[in-house]
Chains A and B, each alone.
Chain A
Amino acid sequence: MSDLDRGNVRLAPEKSPDLTTGGGGTPVVPPPARRRARKGIGWPARLEIALMTGPTLLVFLSFVILPVAMAAYYGFFSWQGYGPAEEFIGFRNYLFIFKDGTFIDALRHNGVIVVLSLLLQGPAAILLALLLNRRMRGQTLIRVLVFVPYVIAEVVVGIGWSLMLHGDGFVNSILADLGLAWLQNDWLSDPQIAIWTLMGILTWKYIGFAVILFLAGLQGIPEELTEAAAIDGASYWQIQRRITLPLLGPTIRIWAFLSMIGALQLFDLVYIIWGQYIAATAGTSTMATYMVANGRNAGEYGYGNAVAVVLFFISLVAALIYQRFILRRDTAGAITGGKN
């Protein structure tokens, strides 16, 4: 723009004086002394921005945002998936969803899974993380092994567990060998038990993730604090209760958020182990398995889209409520990249 500006082109990167590192929040690195406040940016920079974000935006908009918009549109139609959607039926799909007892059941199962995931995995994972955070030999190996189930594909987990759990499979046989034959059960199809079986498998599969997150959070807690407390005579459990847990709070809250969303969207394991028909009778069906069974598998794509929209809004409302009341402190400014 000006001589000064042109003179600076080589000297200072055009962008750096303008950088607000915190992105709206407080700058992480104090910006270097501003040479001059710039209003706009040059054409080369604009070209760079377009070239380097364009492809990403294109893929993201066409394969993430557009399908969600399409779901909202097709949800108002009775449509079998071929030809143009012509039979507009307003909100009838939605009315049908909430009148369908099968969906209400699935919704209830999702609720149970969300709550039980938090109650079962949370405390267990915190205890395990505390345990694995103690100085011990083989720490790295143990951490890796705890994470193994998380890395294994849902399909493998599903097939492995269903072979182990079926009537005369590994689990019942082990119980017999241990003299615990009275504990033998029809683990997968008894509606009283199936949901607990599912919770057991979910806990086994996903607790490693929680443990790793918590371990990461624990590493961020300065040792000086616990050492000081120990010098002041606090016991191990007092230290964990009064110092570690509160400081681990943000990590726990983020994990709980991820866990909640994951539980609301749960599909793979249920569909693989129980399949679309048995899941409903065994009491493990979820909104997502209901969506696939009554949408694509039934050839009712309009209806499937409506279920997707309902599933999305339920997740969204849950997420917003959670963020509003619980995560707010932790994520203040996170959307703009600010750090706490």
Chain B
Amino acid sequence: MTATAVIGRRAPRARRRPAWGNPSVYFVALLLIATMLAPVVYIIVGGFRTNAQITTDPAGWPNPWRFENYLDVLTGGTFWRQVLNSTIVGVATTAAVVTLGLMTSFILARYRFWGREAMYSLFAAGLMFPLTVAITPLYILIKNLGLMNTLPGVILPQIGFAIPMTIIILVPFVRAIPDEIQEAASIDGCSRLGFFWRMVLPLSKPGVITVGILTFIQSWNSYLLPLFILNREETFTLPLGVQAFASQYSVDTAKVLAFTSLSMIPALLFFSLFQRRIVGGLTGAVKG
């Protein structure tokens, strides 16, 4: 029911506008949001203060507002190089995971062959192998492959570890495409691969987008793997960069806050653009 449920769920949304309900509900919701956002606001606003301001009144408002911290970070090369590295890693990982995941899901959902169930179980079992467990040998493996301090050294393992969840989410999507469509396509002279291109690809788009966003955000935030693989500063991704910056400028709290808040903008932006997809996709994932 997974994919159909996700697709079908959109319909009842377009109902009448909800009435204003109980005020206490809004109060609790407001309290909740304040709690969730306070640390984020603290980081962003703190970047507009000076260290003197922070020391004298840690919980105060900027007075006056200072933009030097942000400007310093934005005009320095370090931040942008790390943004570029993180972008390369994130885009490459996401593109590969989506492509490989959809092709494999198509085979697993639509072909019947010896070993299919075993293959699905193998990928599903991959969920039980978290990166944390594999990190030490992975580091050795990457070193033996000569990929230390290179971005592919981070990208390749990330693809591998994102595959299981991707397949678990996408197989039901592909499977939910009615057989009649495939038959109709085939009557019209469409081969199996043509069916994949023309029908499966567009019809599983919601699932693909969800998987893509989740993979990208995970890659953007990933810490443990880059920590092991990337030791040279010019290869640092943002999380490593933020941490290095924080320990390097540990006395310059305001600048650390500015750097930190700039580093979270891309993920937040990405998330707010696609939030409905993420929520919808998780619905599918949890039901699967």
A-to-B contact residues, CB < 8 Å: 10-16, 18-21, 23-24, 28-29, 31-32, 41, 45-46, 48-49, 52-53, 55-57, 59-60, 62-68, 70-71, 74, 81, 128, 131-132, 134-137, 139-140, 142-149, 151-157, 159-161, 163-164, 168-170, 172-174, 177, 204, 208, 212-213, 215-217, 219-220, 251, 254-255, 261, 265, 267-268, 272, 288, 291-292, 295-296, 301, 304-305, 308-309, 311-312, 315-316, 319, 334-337, 339
Contact = CB atoms under 8 A, between A and B. Distances in A.
A212 B9 contact: no
A74 B282 CA distance: 37
Contacts of A46: 113
B223 A160 contact: no
A87 B1 CA distance: 54
Given A64-B134, A156-B43, A170-B59, A213 B20 contact: no
27 contacts: A10-B189, A16-B183, A16-B186, A28-B1, A41-B113, A52-B107, A53-B104, A131-B25, A134-B21, A134-B22, A134-B25, A140-B276, A142-B32, A146-B32, A155-B263, A159-B246, A159-B256, A168-B58, A212-B279, A216-B286, A217-B286, A220-B287, A305-B137, A312-B129, A339-B1, A339-B172, A339-B287
Contacts of A24: 117
B94 to A, nearest CB: 14
B279 A143 contact: yes
Contacts of A216: 279, 282-283, 286-287
Mostly, the A contact residues are helix
Given A23-B117, A254-B286, 14 more contacts: A15-B112, A41-B112, A48-B192, A56-B103, A64-B160, A132-B29, A146-B36, A161-B39, A163-B257, A177-B59, A216-B282, A272-B223, A291-B132, A316-B128
A25 to B, nearest CB: 11
Given A45-B113, A147-B275, A288 B126 contact: no
A234 B96 CA distance: 52
A164 B42 contact: yes
Mostly, the B contact residues are helix
A161 B276 CA distance: 28
B242 A174 contact: no
Which 9 pairs between the two chains have the least Cβ-Cβ distance?
A63-B160, A216-B283, A70-B137, A135-B18, A153-B221, A67-B134, A173-B58, A67-B137, A155-B239
A15 B134 contact: no
Place the interface of chain B in its size category. Answer: 35 or more
